Amino acid sequence: MVTLNCDELSTREVNSLLHRLPVGSAVTITNPRGRHNLAVGLSNALEVTIDGNAGYFIGGLCSGPNLTVNGFVGWSVGENLMSGSVRVNGNASESAGASARGGEIYVSGDASSRAGISLKGGTLVVAGDVGHMSGFMAQAGVMLIGGDARDALGDSLYEAVIYVAGAIDSLGSDAVVEDLEDSDVHLVKELISRSGFDHISPEDVTRVASARRLYNFEALSGVAY
């Protein structure tokens, strides 16, 4: 086990040391005290634990590592994640999982606005509530929300699918509620198993997807926008 102490190392030094570790290494980052940009751009299969609250862009641009944060995180946790996982044992600020192309992001608390914005194939599971405009322009991938969703959920949604266990304040442009099928229930069960958020009932979630009305621009139909 490797320990990197943020009280003794700069962010650049922490990330540089992480990049040098061999595949399969386990490392704990201590005393983060809200430090930004920790564990970014990693391509090795590492087990990384950040022991405390962290700032924005934690675990961004990664392909391979499994990252756990024992605390809250700021904006854009797991931004542009390619593979691997990020688990936040607390709340997440805005844009959790932004543009994630692969991998899995788990938030055990609430996530703020624009969670899953421009999702491109990744998986985002939030145990609690999400803020407004979550799933905005999500192009591919899956979101599972264990609590409530605020206004404009799934605005300008493309091919991503959003499952919501709680109430939805409002849907965004071109987002619609669709019937739940057996394949949806199976997928939600898998996400619950992997996340450990077993307060969610897979048979009772609401499926939100794109109505596909915005795929083609209609110059003479202002009401479409």
Asked if residue 223 is part of any domain, the answer here is no
Q: What is the 3-class SS of the chain, one letter each residue?
A: CEEEECCCCCHHHHHHHHHHCCCCCEEEEECCCCCCCCCCCCCCCCEEEEECCCCCCCCCCCEEEEEEECCCECCCCCCCCCEEEEEECCCECCCCCCCCCCCEEEECCCECCCCCCCCEEEEEEECCCECCCCCCCCCEEEEEECCCECCCECCCCCCCEEEECCCECCECCCEEEECCCHHHHHHHHHHHHHHCCCCCCHHHCEEEEECCCCCCCCCCCHHHC
Give the per-residue pLDDT at 216. Answer: 72
Whether the predicted model's global pTM rises above the 0.85 cut: yes
> 173 lies in a domain?
yes
The answer to whether residue 121 sits within a structural domain is yes
pLDDT at 225 over 60: no
pLDDT for 221: 59
In a domain, 57, yes or no: no
Q: Report yes or no on 6 lying in a domain.
A: no
Bigger pLDDT: 222 vs 153 = 153
Model confidence pLDDT, tens digit, residues 98-149 = 999 999 999 999 999 999 999 999 999 999 999 999 999 999 999 999 999 9
Into how many domains does the chain fold? Answer: 1
Residue 7 lies in a domain: no
Q: What tens digit of pLDDT does each residue of 157-182 get?
A: 999 999 999 999 999 999 999 999 99
Residue 219 has pLDDT above 70, yes or no: no
The domain of 162 spans 91-217
